[in-house]
Amino acid sequence: MKSTRKCVIAAVATAAVACFAAGGPNDYKKTVQRRVAPATVETRIPGRTLVDFGKMAFGFLELVPPPGARGPYEVRLGELLKPDGSVNMKPGATIRAARVTGTIEKDGVLRVPLVADRRNTNGGRKGAAILIPAEHGVIMPFRYVEVFNAPFAVTKDTVRMVAVNYPIDLSESSFSCNDERLNRIYDLCKHTILVSSFAGLYVDGDRERIPYEADAYINQLSDYAVHSDYSLARASHAYLMKHPTWPTEWKQHSIFMAWADWMWSGDTDALAEFYEPLCKEKLLEKYRRASDGLLVTGGERPRGKAVRPNGAADIVDWPLGERDGFVFTEVNAVVNAFYYRNLLQIAEFSLALHKPGDAGFYGHRARDVRKAYNDAFFDAKRGVYRDGIGTDHASLHANAAALAFGLVSRKDAKRVAQYCISKGMACSVYLAQYLLEGLFKAGEADAALALMTASGDRSWLGMMDFGSTTTMEAWAVKYKPNLDLCHAWGTAPLNVISRFVLGVTPMEPGFAKIRVRPQIGSLTRVEGKVPTAKGPVNVRVEGGVLTVDVPAPARIEWAGKVHDVAAGHHVFPTK
């Protein structure tokens, strides 16, 4: 097994042909090029033509002049426009723009040359940027192109984008509902999954082009909501097991990635290979204290240091201003919430790998941690979770994590959820994943939907109002001055719609049994197609009637009733 895994890593590093049989999660593929025609071409001023490709992608520009065209040209490529409708050449942050001049000297297709960014092409060392395969050359994100004084007529036939991405079949998934805002947000996130795959691994965006575990996990969940090819997730997980990053909770996300990989694909190869390092390294039990089983990680990293002297570096949220005033203590509620969920996941891994002794051991630890967690962090009088031992501050983050990871008792869930709701979106696009999950798990579908469809500069609609066609690294430039416009860790609504609104999740590994539990709140119509390892699940709710098509045995939870059904077409009225 180790030799074959090395083959996967080599394929990832070089974008070489996969060394596994087609169809499985190890079937890593090369990134591809797709030619995109302009959505519009408009000449407002003679000699100056604006080309809009409709949506941003990573790639390069080709000019296709007619035979005989000769002479100089100038093009400006960018992600955003200025108010006057020209390409914004100084967009700020890490939003891209480029000016290129050249001369057409012969017939044929002309690739407009781009200059590589030094930071995001520094591959070849541990933790460096993922290199783009040589056959793609230099690529950049852009949507708009201005062509100046070209020696040919600029039309939809004479200019094109060549986009680079992993081969993702977008037709495997769909969603629509009666709320057009949610439809737009779904489409925004879905396009992000396609576009952000340009590096052939889950990377954090264009500024660095580096994989990070938390980014990758949310990317993974949203990737699974789009298509049923699990190879990019597997390759990214394998890469991060070999190249971990610095934050405490990011290491814990490797266990999340392993769990999702196994549950969606049904394959145990990665569990078997990585079981030992997941237990010994990612579970972080070296920080466990004997008195109550909680982790003592020590707090955030000191200024100017990569990690604390003990090797930990609690992060809670990023950027720093998105932490809702979280107070770091040696025993951190967010870190320990992840730890509890990790223990449950490791116990499940142990059973899958026929290690019942380990399963009992980690299951027992999880029960102990759950009790210790509530004893240490829950303020019963206020109905909230404190940030850590030694502080009474209760951030959104501590409470959202407790809800999302199953640490809140049934009798207290309503109060904790209401506290989270009262805070609004007081977190980053990353932590929004767990806030939304926690609210759905607490039965607060309408509150979660309201957050997803909110407007303003802390919302997904706000990203689109800014001009982005992909989810951004942060809510707005003022919250993260160096942000870039394409970060898949902002796609929480996509996987939340798939897993909670449409309600499709694997009940057994590989979707051997499927759970369908739609939570539509006050929506009056939802319908969608969710890809699974067994085939697509079609869900429709309208007029209070749930209609599902499942490719495998399923448990349908609807209108307060539970139905275990065989594969096929099923209809369930509200009453």
Q: What is the pLDDT of residue 127?
A: 67
What is residue 24's predicted lDDT score, i.e. its pLDDT?
Answer: 86
Q: What are phi and psi of 379, to 5 degrees?
A: -100, 95
Percent share of the chain, pLDDT over 70: 95
Q: Which residues are registered as beta bridge partners of 32?
A: 165
Three-class DSSP category at 551: coil
Indicate the pLDDT class of residue 2, thresholds 50, 70 and 90.
very low
User: What pLDDT is recorded for position 332?
Assistant: 98
Q: Indicate the pLDDT class of residue 574, thresholds 50, 70 and 90.
A: confident
Contacts of residue 394, defined as CB under 8 A and 6 or more positions apart, other chains included, come to: 379, 382, 384, 385, 386, 387, 419
Residue 339 in this model has a pLDDT that exceeds 60? yes
* CATH code for the structural domain at 34-164: 2.60.120.260
Instruction: State the pLDDT at residue 312.
Output: 97
pLDDT above 70 for 245: yes
Closest to 144 (Cα-Cα) out of 14, 22, 50: 50
Residues 408 and 466: their CA atoms lie apart, in Å, by: 37
Strands 525-530 and 537-542: antiparallel
State the average pLDDT over residues 340-352: 98
* Domain boundaries along the sequence of the chain: 34-164, 514-572
Q: If you average pLDDT over residues 330-338, what whole number do you get? A: 98
Structure tokens at 263: 């549950």
Encode pLDDT of 516-528 as tens digits. Answer: 999 999 999 999 9
Give 51-84 pLDDT, tens digit per residue: 999 999 999 999 999 999 999 999 999 999 999 9
What mean pLDDT is predicted for residues 279-286?
A: 98
Q: How many CB atoms lie within 10 A of CB 453?
A: 18
Q: How many CB atoms lie within 10 A of CB 387?
A: 26
pLDDT value of position 126: 66
The answer to whether 34-164 and 514-572 have equal CATH topology is: no
Q: What is the C-alpha separation between 555 and 513, in angstroms, rounded?
A: 7
Residue 515's alpha-carbon distances to 225, 456, 512, 537, 567, in angstroms, are 15, 35, 10, 10, 12
SS (H, E, C) 131-198: CCCHHHCCCEEEEEEEEECCCCCCCCCCEEEEEEECCCCHHHCEEEECCHHHHHHHHHHHHHHHHHHH
pLDDT at 11 over 60: no
Q: What is the pLDDT of residues 25-38, one digit of tens each?
A: 999 999 999 999 99
What's residue 207's pLDDT?
96
Q: Determine the average pLDDT of the residues in 197-203.
A: 97
Average of pLDDT values for 342-361?
98
How far is it, in rounded angstroms, from Cα 472 to Cα 490? Answer: 6
Q: What is the mean pLDDT of residues 346-363?
A: 98
What is the crossing angle of helices 445-452 and 432-441, to 10°?
A: 150
Closest CA to 546 of 531, 532, 560: 560
568-572 and 32-36 as β-strands: parallel, antiparallel, unpaired? Answer: unpaired
Q: What is the pLDDT of residue 541?
A: 98
Q: Quick check: 13 pLDDT over 70? A: no
Instruction: Say what the pLDDT of residue 128 is.
Output: 86
The whole-angstrom separation of Cα 14 and Cα 31 is: 11
Q: What is the pLDDT of residues 464-513, one digit of tens each?
A: 999 999 999 999 999 999 999 999 999 999 999 999 999 999 999 999 99
Q: Is residue 1 scored above 70 in pLDDT?
A: no
Q: Band the pLDDT of 442: cuts 50, 70, 90.
A: very high
What is the distance between the alpha carbons of residues 423 and 426, in angstroms, rounded to a whole number?
6
Quick one: CATH architecture of 514-572? Sandwich (2.60)
Identify the band that residue 17 occupies on the pLDDT scale cut at 50, 70 and 90: very low
Residue 10 has pLDDT above 80, yes or no: no
Average of per-residue pLDDT values in the chain: 95
298: its two tokens: 């020590």
